[in-house]
Amino acid sequence: MDSANLLTAVAAAEPNAKPREKADRAAVQVPVGNLSALMKRLRNDSTFAFDMLCDHTAVDWSEQGTFELVYQLYSTVHGHYLMVTTSVPRVSPIVPTVREFWRIAEFQEREVYDMFGVLYDGHPDLRRLFLEDDWKGFPLRKDYTDDFMLERPE
Amino acid sequence: MSVHITTLDDRVRLRQDDSSPLSTQEYFVNMGPQHPSTHGVLRLVLKLDGETVREVIPVLGYIHRGIEKMGEHQSYRQFVHLSDRLDYLSALINNWAVSMTIEKAANIELNDRIQVIRTLMAELQRIQSHQLWWGVFGMDLGAFTPFLYGFRDREIIADIFEETVGARLTMNYIQPGGLMYDIHPGFVKRVKAFLQYFKPKLAEYETLLSGNVILQERLRGVGRMDGQTALSIGATGPVLRASGVPLDLRKSEAYGSYGKVAFDVVIGKNGDCWDRYWVRLEEMRQSMKIVEQLIDNIPEGKHMVMKPAVKIKLPEGCYYNQVETARGILGVYIVSDGKESPYRIHLRTPNFNNLWAITETAANWRLGDLVAILSSLDVVVPDIDR
Amino acid sequence: MTGITENIWQAKTVAQRAAEALPESVWFALGYMVLGVVGVAAFIAVLGMGLIYAERKIAGHFQCRLGPMRVGWHGIFQTVADTLKLLLKEDVVPAQADKFLHILAPLFTLLGTILVLAVLPMSPIVHVSDVNIGVVYVGAVSGFGVLGILLGGWSSNNKWSLLGAMRAGAQIISYEISATLALLVVVLFSGTLRLSEIVESQAAGWWIWRAHGVGIVAFLLFFIASLAEINRTPFDIPEGESELTAGFHTEYSGMRFAFFFLAEFINMFIVAALTATLFLGGWMPFHIGDFAGFNAIMDMIPPGLWFTGKTAFLVFLIMWFRWTFPRLRVDQLMRLEWKVLLPIGFANLIAAAVVVLFNFYFFPVR
């Protein structure tokens, strides 16, 4: 499916999903409550058949006070891409895990937890991935500081 | 809500079964971070039952440098340098991945010369990477000689790179908007000489290692992973193709000059170590085929369509782009807020995803098989940790 | 006094000479004994260095490089320098190790090799002691090596070392059976356990070809099983550098590591020498039955050279294997022994018995 058809199909499958603006490929935005259901549909429905979770990461929109969680999906059956995003408040970032749909999510989610402190509901083994277990803070948050940080040029 | 944060200590706690006085005990062993066959600072915590591996727990972060955080403080041009340091064996392809994402976002059109040279360089890099892997693979299985054979042949490509790029490992050659320098006048001649040289050497690789009965015994049927598992674990590159999934971005996306050349996507049947071995050897042949088709047809033109001093600012938005490195799909995700440096830059590295295949495939094989499986996944640790 | 100087070129072992000198002078007897002991010790040191140099050079040339080139002409003093370095290095004993056993283990390993060297007939005159149960003695004494390896691995208190030691124990004990079975074939042929008599029994032709295929099967069995016994590639799983870091000697450094290292190389020599003695005639020249003319020409080459040549060839073969083959896996190694080599060994032994019973050799001598 090309990206326009894909977006229509996703919108039909999940009415709460809205197209995400300013993306270079088919992208939808869903409320966090609908994420699990949509992902299940995307994984198992043969019209979508997204059998590969290419990438999962987060973006810290500190001014809006949200984390945007980004899932890059790819289907080897149909050869189409879809970017799924969802936003969670920075103060209580809890998202359902998608580990049961893609095995790799377990580890990608651990990385996001490690770097952003996003908590995954139902994750079997949520612990730091790169940093030590007793590390303080979450380095990729915009407000993270330590003594060795560089300033961002304006 | 069932968010439960664990630690490594929780993970490596043994449940002692004292029901029988004859019961055996499983034990944990640290393989790495300093271990000859983890090739770098990868640490695997193994749960062993005698010699049999019951569980593999990779523990990462020994070479975590925070490249993504650094990227947020650097201009786009500066970030290309950092991409060299991910998977240093496909440095050029990493450069290309970042450059291509930036070019697509900034709508920079490239001429054919740049595309062809990039493709050539990427394929040479792929051959070079697979040569090194072949040598190391032999060494991990206990045959030391392949290691030096691999390095001997790799040296020639390194010399070709050195002539044009000036560097042998971390190239930083492919830039947003073109190439750092034009190719060296002797480039075409030397690449042709290399192709002449390497074809019989590849046959030599086969006689030295592939045909060996011990090697076949060690690899066939070991560490099987079917296509569905491989996709679910997000494995890409030769690891995925060995499991029979013909996913190759060079074919499906046809970026660079890949649309103009004929080559086959090599796939395996069983997804065992032998298939992963064979797929990589075959890929070297395919890469040589690509180089052969392009080397005589480098079009004229400029090597840079954009002055190096021009500052790059991407329009607001998010951009995701992927290329096929020697080890799989490298994805670059850039979120721009319109400033000179990215608001967020994330790298989807092939080795990060490939590594976890070890947790699926190594269970219930022997310690020696674990080494073979790990080596057949061909992980480069800095690429995992970033 | 004159008797001793005249006797020097007679085919006698050092032990015999000492016994003969004893009535004449206690000092001469003692001198011979010291000669034997010092000879073996010096031989081990020199041979070890020579073999290590050879291995590095051969490996270098197999791998399209030159090997050591810097210290002396073509790096000839490289191993001397390395030995000095190893001797001067700090001897680290891990804090959690069993100190006594940790220190003892390399000595055990080296002891096994020294004791075997004492009975090897290298030529009619270079032979320290001729034990009447030589073959049995060799089998028994070479078992000391595994004791050292097991102790070393266990006392290091390191899981990798322990794994290596356990692998070594299982492997060496298993393969000893096949080696012994192959050895028994030669004992059947020659009708003696004495190594010097085994050599002399091959005056009409070496056992490897004189017994209609039985000899060569026994030779292959013995060679393969011995390779496994001394942990050389493709059977080097107790060390398994890429699997167990260094196996049983992970925790050894300096001189004690050098002992293990030396023992490994001397063992390689012993296997080659023993194989040459049992199957390739030892110091016996290449004879074909009663072709006296041909045999006379062959006799012009001194026996010491024959022995050296055969042993060197086998040593080269062992090194060749090492730089070509990958390593077997633990269970494959065990399968090879118990399911392949052992049945062949038994069948071969029975075949050998039939050959001996019907005196069915090429050029039967008896």
pLDDT attached to residue C1: 39
pLDDT digits (tens, 9 = 90+) for A56-88: 999 988 888 888 899 988 888 888 888 888 988
Domain ranges, residue C313: 89-357
* Residue A50 in tokens: 């997204």
Neighbours of chain B (3+ CB pairs under 8 A): A, C
The residue among B38, B59, B80 that closes a domain is B59
pLDDT digits (tens, 9 = 90+) for A120-154: 888 888 888 888 888 888 888 888 877 776 665 55
Q: Show residues of chain B in contact with A108, CB under 8 Å.
A: 234
pLDDT attached to residue C343: 92
Cα(B121)–Cα(B113) distance, integer angstroms: 12
Identity at B18, one-letter amino acid code:
D
Whether residue B183 lies inside any domain: the answer is: yes
Cβ within 8 Å, pair C330-B215: no
pLDDT digits (tens, 9 = 90+) for B252-264: 888 888 888 888 8
Cα(B226)–Cα(B271) distance, integer angstroms: 6
Residue B195 belongs to a domain with what CATH number?
A: 1.10.645.10
Neighbours of C91 (CB within 10 A): 13
Whether residue C255 lies inside any domain: the answer is: yes
pLDDT attached to residue C11: 63
Examine the domain organization and report whether B238 and B378 are in the same domain.
Answer: yes
- How do beta strands A119-121 and B317-325 pair? unpaired
Cβ within 8 Å, pair C59-B144: yes
Cβ within 8 Å, pair B352-A107: yes
Taken in order of first residue, the domains within chain A and their CATH numbers are 3-93 (3.30.460.80)
Mean pLDDT is lowest, of B8-17, B165-174, B372-381, C268-277, for B8-17
B316 pLDDT above the threshold of 70: yes
Examine the domain organization and report whether B19 and B113 are in the same domain.
Answer: no
Examine the domain organization and report whether B261 and B156 are in the same domain.
Answer: yes
Whether residue B97 lies inside any domain: the answer is: no
Examine the domain organization and report whether B39 and B116 are in the same domain.
Answer: no
Domain tally for chain C? 1
- For residue A149, the SS3 value is coil
CA distance B332 to chain A (A): 10
Q: Residues of chain A with pLDDT > 90: what percent?
A: 0
Task: For chain B, list the strands marked E by DSSP.
Answer: 27-31, 43-49, 52-59, 174-175, 178-179, 317-325, 328-336, 344-348
Whether residue B285 lies inside any domain: the answer is: yes
Would you list which residues of chain C are within 8 Å, Cβ to Cβ, of chain B? 59, 62-65, 159-160, 163, 167, 233-234, 236-237, 240-245, 323-332
Whether residue B377 lies inside any domain: the answer is: yes
For chain A, give the number of residues: 154
Tell which of B12, B14, B28, B29 to mutate to test the C interface (max C CBs under 10 Å).
Answer: B29
Domain tally for chain B? 2
Q: Residues of chain B with pLDDT > 70: what percent?
A: 97
- Burial-class residue B262 by CB neighbours within 10 Å (0-12, 13-18, 19+): exposed
Segment B349-358 mean pLDDT: 89
Radius of gyration in angstroms for the set of CA atoms belonging to chain C, rounded to a whole number: 21
Whether residue C345 lies inside any domain: the answer is: yes
The answer to whether A32 faces chain B, any CB pair under 8 Å, is no
Cα(B42)–Cα(B330) distance, integer angstroms: 20
Q: Show residues of chain B in contact with A55, CB under 8 Å.
A: 320, 331, 333, 346, 348
The values of phi and psi at residue B95, to 5°, are -55, -45
Identify the sign of the CA torsion A127, A129, A132, A136.
negative
CA distance B101 to chain A (A): 10
Whether residue C2 lies inside any domain: the answer is: no
Nearest to A127 among B5, B245, B339 (CB): B5
Q: Nearest Cα to C113, choosing from C155, C75, C80, C141?
A: C141
Neighbours of C191 (CB within 10 A): 11
Q: Which residues of chain C have pLDDT under 70?
A: 1-12, 125-126, 362-366
- Edge to edge, the sheet with strand B52-59 lists B27-31, B43-49, B52-59
The answer to whether B329 faces chain A, any CB pair under 8 Å, is yes
Examine the domain organization and report whether B266 and B169 are in the same domain.
Answer: yes
Cβ within 8 Å, pair B142-C159: no
Whether residue C95 lies inside any domain: the answer is: yes
Whether residue B316 lies inside any domain: the answer is: no
Cβ within 8 Å, pair A121-B335: no
Q: Show residues of chain B in contact with A72, CB under 8 Å.
A: 320, 331, 333, 348
The answer to whether A120 faces chain B, any CB pair under 8 Å, is yes
pLDDT attached to residue B143: 83
CA distance B319 to chain A (A): 5
Q: Check: CB of residue B350 under 8 Å from CB of residue B328.
A: yes
pLDDT attached to residue A150: 63
Whether residue C24 lies inside any domain: the answer is: no
Cβ within 8 Å, pair C328-B369: no
pLDDT attached to residue C200: 79
Neighbours of B200 (CB within 10 A): 9
Contacts of A131 (CB under 8 A, 6+ apart): A114, A139, B61, B64
CA distance C210 to chain B (A): 31
Cα(C237)–Cα(C169) distance, integer angstroms: 11
- For residue C212, the SS3 value is coil
B318 pLDDT above the threshold of 50: yes
Domain ranges, residue B24: 8-59
Whether residue C22 lies inside any domain: the answer is: no
B282 pLDDT above the threshold of 80: yes
* Residue B179 in tokens: 């190439």
Cα(B242)–Cα(B354) distance, integer angstroms: 12
Whether residue C3 lies inside any domain: the answer is: no
